[in-house]
Structure 1
Amino acid sequence: MTGLPDLTPAELAALARQHGLRGPLERLPSAGIVNRAYADGEVVLRVAVPGDETGEEDARTEAVAVPAALGAGIRTPPLLAFDDSREVVDAPVTVYARVNAPSLHGTGWDVADPRSVRAARETERELARLHLSVTDVPDPRGWPEIWDLPDAREGVESAATAGRIDRLTADWAVRLLTRTAALPRPAPRFLHGDAQPGNLLVHPDGSLAALIDWGDAGWADPALDFPALPPHAAAHALDAYHEVAPALLGEGAEGRILEVYLGMAFDHLNDEPTPDELWDARPGSVLGHLLRFAVDAPGEWRGWLREEEGGTGQ
């Protein structure tokens, strides 16, 4: 459970009446940082924290992203209500149909567990269908963003300047990122934007029950819908994605995904320690996952991590 404040009993009762919810509504555990979530047997009520600009923006983005995803047949809970009236609390409120399944993060399965692999593969098949099918989103207020990621080399230099890494390591990372930066980028596609294990609801066998939390949806290089997963999972997921959309990612998808991982890894080295257990939350976690992945990375990925002449990533 996050440290976000609970709604008062009066607020919760008023929202239940306003949206015709049967209740009783109970607080759900969540790794999120912008929404309080409550549920009964049929629905999930999500309420942003008043004054939290990120939570309000996420709720508005979901209001247009979820209908687009549902229209494309993506496995995601229907949005039953979006309420920005502020009649009960001074924040947007959303109501979703409830999917009674745990998150992949909540299962505690290792990234190499066959059930985790299945969840990752099924997720990226869904995202491939999203990228292929959603070419226009009715969005008169411009809520979903057009992504523009910072140059990952800046994070490397920042970590080196702060004394978090040595100069030789920084130089290696900058050389790799200079190669990936030269790759052509495909046309932007509509992305979920945060398909991390906490947003994947799964059945006991690892099959995907639903993809939730569309608050970061937007338009960008479709390869950017992979790095929310750990590298091991992303490698399996990329194979599954190609089964659905073999040509959509274009040239050097592995390099473009690694570019994001390295940017995350070196940026996080400057972060403070945290009790957050999501796979990428702690300062050294992404580098640790990359080290584990590099030991037996598939050939296309190894070509980017090596510097020999003639390597795949050259």
Structure 2
Amino acid sequence: MTTAQTRPGLYPVDDDLVRRLVAGRFPRWAELPLERFPSGGTVNAVFRLGEGMVVRLPLLAGGAEDMSLEREWLPRLAPLLPTAVPEVLGAGEPAEGYPWRWSVYRWLAGENPRAGAPAEPALLAEDLADFVAAMRSVTLPGAPQAYRGGPLAALDASTRAAIAELRGIPGEGVDCDAVAAVWEEALGAPGWDGPPVWLHADLMPGNLLVDANGRLTSVIDFGCMGVGDPACDLFPAWNLLPAGAREVFREALGVDDATWTRGRARTLSQALIALPYYRTTNPTMADTARHVIRAVLGEA
């Protein structure tokens, strides 16, 4: 993972606070080494605890809601999925002035794949398709609504606002007419009319871990999970995979034209909104957004 600058307004979390929280809640782990882990994420602070654990603390209230969601659903999902997912080893509560729930997870080894140039793109595409297919096949009752699982039209206003904002940032070099055309075309595609399916709903490169051979070993950060439009888990096609592997991913999942169009548009929308928001505060997120825009326009 790469270290990212963070935007203002996040709760200040440092080593001393985390040590006090761990000592108060889990005295048996109080003497273990603790070190902040560099991350391009924007919602949680991550600290390595000893050799086999990681402490994850929300930096804003929305992240605290995600933490509760993971505690409830990850133990049920884990046996149904082909890759490792975060395992909660300890549930922390507000203390020491820190206002939200936090968790201790088992450490998952691996590296984030590099957008556009993973080591084994076709094999990684197959691994990702296996994970997405397994999520779709989950039938656990009482599922929450996924954070990004609703109709594409719900993103229209925010996407158009982002395009307008990018028109005022000529240094980014985004072809705003071209991305607007892609978006307009997608809005005319048929919506999802089947039953909602289980989704991770945030399959960004930073939420994937691969081994030294480039194979998918773990998927992390399930804070957006729930049920919704299956197009929402097609993000890796444009935020990670090169063109050839993108087709491997699509074929393995059997994605129809309308769902592919919605998936591409959803990925583009997220990138268009993220780029002006993170361009001066989080290089990792901004670079991923630029990569997505190039990939989508290249395909279009």
Measure the CA separation in 2 of the matches of 1:270 and 1:11: 32
| Counterpart pick for 2:225 among 217, 222, 241 | 217
* Highest RCO, 1 vs 2 (Cα 8 Å, sep ≥ 6): 2
SS of corresponding position for 1:36: strand
Within 1, Cα distance between the matches of 2:44 and 2:163?
Answer: 35
Structure 1 unaligned residues grouped into runs of 5+: 295-304, 306-314
Q: Which residue matches 1:9?
A: 16
Unaligned ranges ≥5, structure 2 = 168-173
Cα deviation for residue 211 of structure 1 reads 0.6
C-alpha distance after superposition, 1:106-154 (max 9, x if no partner): xxx452444244334312311211211x222566xx5865732552544
Instruction: Say if 1:26 and 1:38, in contact at 8 Å, map to a contact too.
Output: yes
Map of 1:121 onto structure 2: 126
> 3-state DSSP class of the match of 2:284?
coil
Q: Is the 8 A contact 2:145 2:228 kept in 1?
A: no
8 Å CA contact 1:269–1:284 kept in 2: the answer is yes
Q: Per the alignment, do residues 123 and 161 of structure 1 end up closer, same or farther by CA in structure 2, a change over 3 Å counting?
A: closer
Q: Does 2:51 match 1:41? A: yes
Quote how far apart the aligned CAs of 1:208 are.
Answer: 1.3
Letter in structure 1 aligned against 2:149: W
Q: Give the number of equivalent residue pairs.
A: 280
Q: Which amino acid aligns with 2:193?
A: R
Give the CA deviation at 1:191. Answer: 0.8
Contact 1:223–1:253, Cα closer than 8 Å, also in 2: yes
Residue 82 of structure 1 corresponds to 91
Write the distance in 2 (CA, Å) between the matches of 1:204 and 1:271. Answer: 33
- The 1:281–1:53 alpha-carbon spacing in structure 2 relative to 1, beyond 3 Å, is farther
Taking a change above 3 Å as real, the CA distance of residues 123 and 17 of structure 1, as seen in their structure-2 partners, is farther
Q: CA deviation at 1:56?
A: 0.8
Alpha carbon RMSD of aligned pairs, Å?
3.4
Aligned residue for 2:149? 147
Q: Which residue of 2 aligns with 1:309?
A: none
1:65 aligns with one of 64, 73, 76? 73
Q: Cα distance 1:185–1:256, how it changes in 2: closer, same or farther (>3 A)? A: farther
Residue matched to 1:239: 248
> Which SS does the other structure have where 1:47 is aligned?
strand
Q: Report the TM-score, using the length of structure 2 for normalisation.
A: 0.77
Give the Cα separation in 1 of the matches to 2:65 and 2:133: 25
CA–CA distance in structure 1, aligned partners of residues 192 and 242 of structure 2: 20
Which protein has the bigger helix share?
A: 2
AA aligned to 1:64 is E
1:185 is matched with 193
SS state at 1:252 partner: helix
Tell me how far 1:230 sits from its aligned partner: 2.6
Identity of aligned residues (%): 21
1:198-247 Cα deviation digits (max 9, x unpaired): 1111111101121111111121111211125535628635634654x64x
Which residue number in structure 2 is paired with residue 18 of structure 1?
25
**1:68–1:137 CA contact under 8 A, matched in 2:** no
Deviation of residue 94 (structure 1)?
A: 0.8
Q: What letter matches 1:118 in structure 2?
A: L
